Amino acid sequence: MKRRTFLQSSVAAVLASKAYAAPARRPRILLRSSWQVVNIGDIAHTPGVMALLEKYVPEAEVTLWASGDFSEEVHAMEARRFPNMRVVKGSIGETGKVSNADLKDAVDSCDFLLHGSGPSFVARRDVGRFVEHTGKPFGIYGITYTGADQETQDLMSSANFVYFRDSVSLKKAKVDGIQSPIMEFGPDGAFACDLRDDEKAEAYLKQVGLTPGEFLCCITRLRYTPYWEVKKGRTIDPERHARNEAMKDHDHKPIREAIARVVTETDKKVLLCPEDMTQMKVTKLNIYDHLSDEVKQKVVWRDKFWLTDQALSTYVRSAGFFGLEMHSPIMCIGNGIPAIVGRFEEQTSKGFMWQDIGLGDWLFDFDKPEQVANYPATVLDLVQRPEFAQHMVTHAQAAVTRRQYETMEVVRKSAGL
């Protein structure tokens, strides 16, 4: 056979084999996420990261490794948005034995484990045992870090990447000597949450007399969430309860002033709503019951908990958000709604992400009197200068979107794409 004929035949054979070969298996990512369901913000981490994976790593098969309290109600809500989602639960024992067949299959077949966004390296034990007994790679996406024992620090150093959701956490991790190859700021996964229940939101707003675009949402909280009131087996923490009692008026007074100014100096109303299951009571006792009868006429107190989809569908119909919580503001900014954050030391450093995305003027430290004094006026300004508020949101969204793309490119490579 002549050399030219041989080469042509060889090339044709290679092309034919590629055309008829079975397609390579899709990369498989095991997402360890879903921390608790008593808080719509903690719920939002998971669908947020799943939405990012869907957008930026569409070739991958994603299985959610959920925590034990991942409820059927929350599963059903997320499945409406992600109809093909696969969920496993369970644990890996010290010896490497996996607690059930579904989790074992997910662990054995995955190519990469992604620890989802959260308040800390929440599933440190699960990830540690996964790495010890499989040797497979993993990464950590969008967490706050306040310190850890040496074993945890060593585990974090072995990650392909660690993305911190606030620059204070990133700085702390570097000071502590954590040395993952990639350690950078990465937005909280909840920025990408896009769950919706428009029907419920519209019905509720009609029921309570709120017009889209003509109200603000407000969520408040205590220094420490009184989980002992809503979680079985929890007993009251005397020290935390005492701290809550000592600071509740200090923390809620500027919120009450902001509400009063909004409803008396503008044509907007205010919806008092919850981010976790304890906050209906907290808001009633510390906000609503203290308002004058005149102010109450333009304030709605929601007395029932809701899930992330209805809450977000309500937020996007509002003119803005203010309060003392973090993840409802995150979801607001991620979906184009202005949001002002109040923080205090007990909430860790997560609030500083507002500075990281260009919203430092909307971040208030309630432990600093000079900042608290400006809080009500800033809430009023958000209403009175909507175009400027929207300008701030647009720039913050651009900063978040850029980092989402950049961080997900790293996830893609880690998954073998």
63 strand-pairing partners: 30, 86
What is the full per-residue pLDDT of the chain (417 aa) written as tens digits?
A: 443 443 344 434 434 443 444 447 899 999 999 988 999 999 999 999 999 999 999 999 999 999 999 999 999 999 999 999 999 999 999 999 999 999 999 999 999 999 999 999 999 999 999 999 999 999 999 999 999 999 999 999 999 999 999 999 999 999 999 999 999 999 999 999 999 999 999 999 999 999 999 999 999 999 999 999 998 889 999 999 999 999 999 999 999 999 999 999 999 999 999 999 999 999 999 999 999 999 999 999 999 999 999 999 999 999 999 999 999 999 999 999 999 999 999 999 999 999 999 999 999 999 999 999 999 999 999 999 999 999 999 999 999 999 999 999 999 999 998
For CA atoms 347, 349, 350, 355, the dihedral sign is: positive
What phi, psi does 142 have (nearest 5°)? 70, 60
Q: Give the pair of three-digit tokens for residue 107.
A: 């662990």
Q: Are 334 and 303 in contact (CB under 8 A)?
A: no
Q: Are 325 and 204 in contact (CB under 8 A)?
A: no
Domain 28-192+401-414: which CATH number of 3.40.50.11720, 3.40.1410.10, 3.40.50.300, 1.10.287.1080: 3.40.50.11720
Residues carrying CATH 3.40.50.11720, the chain: 28-192+401-414
pLDDT of residue 24: 75
**Which of 182, 174, 188, 190 shows the shortest CA–CA distance to 142?**
188
pTM recorded for the entire structure: 0.92
Cβ-based neighbour number of residue 368 at 10 Å: 10
pLDDT of residue 5: 40
Residues carrying CATH 3.40.50.2000, the chain: 198-399
Class of the CATH-defined domain 198-399: alpha beta
pLDDT of residue 104: 98
Q: Are 35 and 67 in contact (CB under 8 A)?
A: yes
